[in-house]
Structure 1
Amino acid sequence: MDNKKVTVPLVCHGHSRPVVDLFYSPVTPDGFFLISASKDSTPMLRNGETGDWIGTFEGHKGAVWSCCLDTNALRAASASADFSAKLWDALTGDELHSFDHKHIVRACAFSEDTHLLLTGGFEKILRIFDLNRPDAPPREVEKSPGSIRTLAWLHSDQTILSSCSDSGGVRLWDMRSGKIVNTLETKSPVTSAEVSKDGRYITTADGSSVKFWDANHFGLVKSYDMPCTVESASLEPKFGNKFIAGGEDMWIRLYDFNSGEKIGCNKGHHGPVHCVRFSPGGESYASGSEDGTVRIWQTLTGPTSQKDSPAPVGNGPNKQLSAVEVASKMEDLHVKD
């Protein structure tokens, strides 16, 4: 067993069911934030640097499969098995709007300009809601070849990226025509798709491989085989020189982007890892697992062995806030049923 460069994470408790999605906000004047989606129906907001719990969004009646924050971390969105996507005030926890669907909603994503919310799921329909007119009917783009698993915007909101739960490949949809203009071919269904911070790469996880695609010309740049089935991968956003991957064997592995060499290996979860994401500055990364915890790991800094490391820090919802700026920003936080 390879224990090279093992670090001890911050352990964020609070969810009572598996954590299936994570999303970091960009850096804001108040720092950056991390939202987690769980099968327990309650997305949670945390300080992205410390892992301190800020609030819980209450209102869904089923598993929450996807979550995201807008560019300024002022609003959150979530997609649920209760046939709805919800828009939340990230400062107060209030539900701002609920968008009804006819089946399970699996993915959601804010547009870069924050005016639109994109959703998709078992109906095989992309829906685009105008957040300036939330009661207006959404634009619907049909003919997805399968149940939608992941969604993302790229090219300044001119292109939509989607993958399916039951077939391989990533589809690129042109927003103007509503048609598929390109497909990134994979053998297995893509369980994670991420657009890099600089807009150069699309990072995908499918089966036991992690692939990097040119986000402008759509060619395959690199493909690396993983030692297990991976569910998620993320490219370091600042330098783009390393990436992480997590999956069935409960490890989170850190790799060199250019060579594919493994440079770090972290274990702490007690169940498969469903999602991994780098923080906006690349100094840490988060993982969400079947075991119901979120763990935040430092990127190759700090102690290198369990023996020399401090005990893991717990950051559950009953923990008093320690980040002054977050406490100040969220002092009026409340949540609604």
Structure 2
Amino acid sequence: MLSIKTGHPVNGVDISADGRLILLGGRDKQMQLWDVETQAAVRAFPFSNPVQAVALSPNGELAAGSKIYRGGFIPVWQVQNGTDAPLYQIDDTHHIDLVSCLAFSTDGRFLISGGHEPEVCVWEANSSNLRHKWEGYTPPSAVTFSPNGRYAAAGYGGSGNGRIIIWMLKTGKEKSDINTGKRGGVRCLAFAPDSKHFAAGCRDLTLRFWRMGRKTPLIQTTLGRAPRALVFSGDGSQMFVGLANGMIAVHNVVDGTAVSEWKAHYTTVTSLAISANGTRLISGSEDGTAKVWQVK
């Protein structure tokens, strides 16, 4: 296990598809790129304010981030370019306020963003051109792509009524709109590897698991603490949930039963990411550390 101590809360983590590179960012006003094999820092990307969200393209070539405080700028760096200047920066024309969530598509062609306005944007990763912009009714609390590249999704209701909207990435048309309830505001959201199922961790301390096309969850189980981050195992048989008490809980997708859990951090797990083959899991925490776990 690799443990990186930053001395400041870690707000976001991501990992390359092969599990070799990890990206983290937090209140130390920088994103850090690490090589898991050598256990050494590769480079840092400077910010003028604490970092809120990070995203690493699956091939490890592009790194994107957003900062805390107003101003929805999203700088994107070319990892192999050693300069501090980003390759390009998405301006605040579409995100006026803080950008709180980011993710690259599995093929690396698109970047999705959501923030403190009721809008979700999809950008062409190599050019920063806006591909889609969807208006919601509240600010999104989570955004993601399906592994097959066909869908984009957002979870809403971090502090109120819950909702999950799924769009078809090619056309931009809405595919599904799911109401998760008055107390079921979505905190975290993830697709399963088969892209036919997805799950959400909600403010009412539930973990819910759906099949695409159905509005009623196949599984709804109660967690002991608030869920803050969520990913699926490489084979889709399990869900890893980062909790507010520093634990990572593992639940199966058959009936939602807790398989195991461990004390990963001293305090809240803020973010999780997993390699494409499901062998490496990375966690970030308010305790100022990011850790890499062998999970297979």
CA contact (8 A) 1:89 1:96 kept: yes
1:298 CA displacement: 2.9
Alignment gaps of 5+ in structure 2:
none
Match of 1:67 in 2: 54
1:88 CA displacement: 0.8
Match of 2:233 in 1: 236
> Cα 1:117–1:279, aligned 2, differ >3 Å: closer, same or farther?
closer
Three-state SS of the structure 1 residue aligned to 2:30 is coil
**Overall identity of the aligned pairs, in %:** 20
1:34-87, CA deviations, whole angstroms, 9 ceiling, x for partnerless residues? 2123133312222346654222111x2223222222231111111223421111
Match of 1:130 in 2: 124
> Cα 1:48–1:211, aligned 2, differ >3 Å: closer, same or farther?
farther
1:9-51, CA deviations, whole angstroms, 9 ceiling, x for partnerless residues? 432113x321122222212xxx632212313331222234665
Taking only aligned residues, the RMSD between alpha carbons, in angstroms, comes to 2.6
Three-state SS of the structure 2 residue aligned to 1:146 is coil
TM-score calculated relative to the size of structure 1: 0.75
- Range moving further from structure 2, 35-44 or 260-269: 260-269
Match of 1:143 in 2: 135
Match of 2:80 in 1: 91
Match of 2:113 in 1: 119
- Residues 30-45 of structure 1: matches in 2 within 5 Å? 32-45=20-33
Letter of the 2:194 counterpart? D
Distance, in Å, in 1 between the alignment partners of 2:48 and 2:286 is 20
CA contact (8 A) 2:14 2:272 kept: no
Distance, in Å, in 1 between the alignment partners of 2:38 and 2:223 is 30
CA contact (8 A) 2:151 2:167 kept: yes
1:152 CA displacement: 1.4
> Cα 1:156–1:263, aligned 2, differ >3 Å: closer, same or farther?
closer
Distance, in Å, in 1 between the alignment partners of 2:134 and 2:253 is 36
Match of 1:225 in 2: 222
1:91-149, CA deviations, whole angstroms, 9 ceiling, x for partnerless residues? 23541111111211112222344333222212222223334443x5x355242111122
* Structure showing greater relative contact order (alpha-carbon pairs closer than 8 Å, 6 or more residues apart): 1
- Hey, which of these two has a bigger chunk of strand by percent? 2
- Structure with bigger gyration radius: 1
Distance, in Å, in 2 between the alignment partners of 1:192 and 1:83 is 21
- Residues 122-201 of structure 1: matches in 2 within 5 Å? 122-134=116-128, 138-139=130-131, 141-154=133-146, 156-164=148-156, 165-166=158-159, 167-175=161-169, 178-187=172-181, 188-201=184-197
1:270 to 266, 272, 275: 266
Letter of the 1:212 counterpart? F
Matched residue pairs, number? 284
Match of 2:3 in 1: 11
Residue 76 (structure 1) aligned with residue 72 (structure 2):
no
Distance, in Å, in 1 between the alignment partners of 2:290 and 2:106 is 26
